Structure 1
Amino acid sequence: MNILDKIVAHKKKEVAQLKSEVSINKLVKSPNFKRTPISLRKALTVKNSTGIIAEFKRQSPSKGIINDKVEVVDVTQGYLQANVAAQSILTDTHFFGGSVLDLMQARTVNETTPILRKDFIVDGFQIVEAKAIGADAILLIAACLTKQELKNYGKLAGDLGLEVLYEVHNKEELDKIELENKIIGINNRNLKTFKVDLEHSIKLAGQIPTSCIKVSESGLSNPAVIVGLKEYGFKGFLIGENFMKTEDPGLACQAFINQIR
């Protein structure tokens, strides 16, 4: 069983437990459920957008602890000052050390910039929960969902006013998605082995329709690479570890953005 299989198996048990404790009705009644989400698509395509989706991530299965000293509110404020296009927050607890509370706390100081709920979505319940905690967009990982699940979950998100970042790693996963007008993230990290290869973004870029927004994810630490990827039509760049491994992720993000302007 590879890392992704372990994560998905654990997530299914976790969500089943959560569904037995929290009702959909309770989620729908939460204050954040009434707010109008901020568009990730617009944030990535607006004139002079930095395209940077800066991530809050305490740990990962491949790296262990990355940064467990900083507070999500402080990092969020730093990212906003750096003028990020969007924010990504890992809400998986067991493998990544995050929680839905992280996203809720970030939302209290971030009213202007879209927040992506980064998690392993395996059930529609999590999408309703994403809306309830104040997310603007969700991640759907093609590697752990069927073609029908991708379609159904994408529709549910849309019905709730949430946008979707569809994550793929190869052509087979790309073929599971109805590609018109989607936000497509190409993960340079193989979720089964956790090895990083930037060539993934470039190889798959040409197979994604121009109606889609292209996002490159993982292993991005060099501003020059961002400039190069823009030439292949990429509008978004999801970066977490590169900022989070520093004492002040917001400051690191600012310095990075200054080099791609």
Structure 2
Amino acid sequence: MNILDQIIKRKKDEVAFSKSKISISNLKDSEFFGRETFSLKNSIKNKSGIIAEFKRKSPSKGIINDKSNVLEVAKSYEKFGASGISILTDQDFFGGNFEDILKVRNEIKIPILRKDFMIDEYQFYEAKSIGADVVLLIAACLSPNQVQEFTELSHELGLEVLLEIHTEEELNHFNKNIDLVGINNRNLKDFKVDLQHSVHLKNQLPGEVLSVAESGIYRVEDYQFLKEEGFDGFLMGEYFMRNQNPEIAFEKFIFNITI
């Protein structure tokens, strides 16, 4: 069983437990459920294009940063020009939780991506209830029909969808209602990184689709290469979070790509 299979197996148990504790009706009564969401599409077009991530750990890297304060990091990401903020909510494998989004929702005015493994419609109501604006759909753990259904549900809830793909076969998961397509430079099954592979996949998408390069962007040169190849957005987490002060790392990166 590869790591993705392990995550999905655990996620099914986690969702079943959550359903037994909190109903969808209760989720709809939350403080944030009725709020008007921010558009990541518009923010990517009008700002740096960087979706800066808050991530404590990962299965491939172990602990990345378990010291930084999510609110301080998020506010700095916004201050220095992030188009959006990605916050992990998977606890077992990535050290995330809902509280990280709840703590920052009223403190920033840019979109928040709930980054998790979305496999059940219940999770979309969760995302809306905690103040997320965007959800991630990972093609590797969903069928094309599930992607279509989850996209429709997301839009009903006022959420945008970032579809993540990594293989040519997963291009079949794309549908015209998808808001953004993320191409993961890192294979979720073996964690190898290949920027050129991502460019190859991007060139097979419809030209009008907003594309986001995900993972494995460690240098200004990586960012510049992907931008020159036509990517609109850049989901970056480890590059900033592996620093003792992610806020400073992000500020320096923005300075270096704008000089």
- 1:31-70 aligned at under 5 Å gives the runs 31-46=31-46, 49-70=47-68
Q: Which secondary structure does the structure 2 equivalent of 1:208 belong to?
A: coil
In 2, the alpha carbon distance for the partners of 1:240 and 1:96 equals: 12
Q: Partner letter of residue 107 of structure 2?
A: V
> What do the CA deviations read for 1:53-93 (whole angstroms, capped 9, x no partner)?
00000000000000001111111111112111110000000
- C-alpha distance in 1 between matches for 2:231 and 2:178: 14
The answer to which of 181-190 and 53-62 deviates more is: 181-190
Which residue does the alignment assign to 2:127?
130
- Report if the CA contact (8 A) 1:213-1:235 is conserved: yes
Unmatched tracts of structure 1, length 5 or more: none
Taking the aligned partners of 2:241 and 2:80, their CA distance within structure 1 comes to 14
Identical columns (%): 49
Gaps of 5+ in 2: none
Structure 2 residue 216 is matched with structure 1 residue 219: yes
Partner of 1:141: 138
Letter matched to residue 96 of structure 2: G
The correspondence for 2:69, drawn from 71, 83, 87, is: 71
Candidates 80, 83, 91, aligned match of 1:82: 80
The reply on whether 1:165 has 2:200 as its aligned counterpart is: no
Q: Is the contact made by 2:52 and 2:235 (CA closer than 8 Å) also made in structure 1?
A: yes
Determine the C-alpha separation between the residues in 2 that align with 1:82 and 1:58: 21
For residue 181 of structure 1, report the CA deviation from its aligned partner: 5.7
State the alpha-carbon separation in 2 of the partners of residues 180 and 50 from structure 1: 24
Alpha-carbon deviation of 1:14? Answer: 0.5
Tell me the TM-score normalized by structure 2. Answer: 0.97
CA contact 1:43–1:113 (8 Å) conserved in 2: yes
Distance 1:250 1:21, change over 3 A: same
Q: Is the 8 A contact 1:186 1:200 kept in 2?
A: no
Across the two proteins, how many residue pairs are aligned to each other? 258
Normalising to structure 1: TM-score of the pair?
0.97
Measured in 2, the distance between the counterparts of 1:180 and 1:96 equals 29
Q: Do the aligned residues in 2 keep the contact of 1:188 with 1:196 (CA within 8 Å)?
A: yes
Match of 1:5 in 2: 5
2:234 pairs with 1:244: no
Q: Which amino acid aligns with 2:38?
A: I
The letter for the 1-side match of 2:29 is K
Q: Distance in 2 between matches of 1:17 and 1:221?
A: 37
CA distance in 1, matches of 2:54, 2:225: 25
CA contact under 8 A between 1:78 and 1:250: conserved in structure 2?
Answer: yes
Q: Deviation at 1:224?
A: 2.0
What is the CA distance between 1:108 and its match in structure 2?
Answer: 2.8
The equivalent residue for 1:100 is 98
Query: Is the CA contact (8 Å cut-off) linking 1:181 and 1:211 kept in structure 2?
Result: no
Residues 104-143 of structure 1: per-residue CA shift (max 9 Å, x gap): 1121311x10000000001010001100000000000000
Q: In the TM superposition, what is the alpha-carbon distance from 1:196 to its structure 2 partner?
A: 1.3
- 2:190 is equivalent to residue 193 of structure 1: yes
C-alpha distance in 1, partners of 2:156/2:101? 21
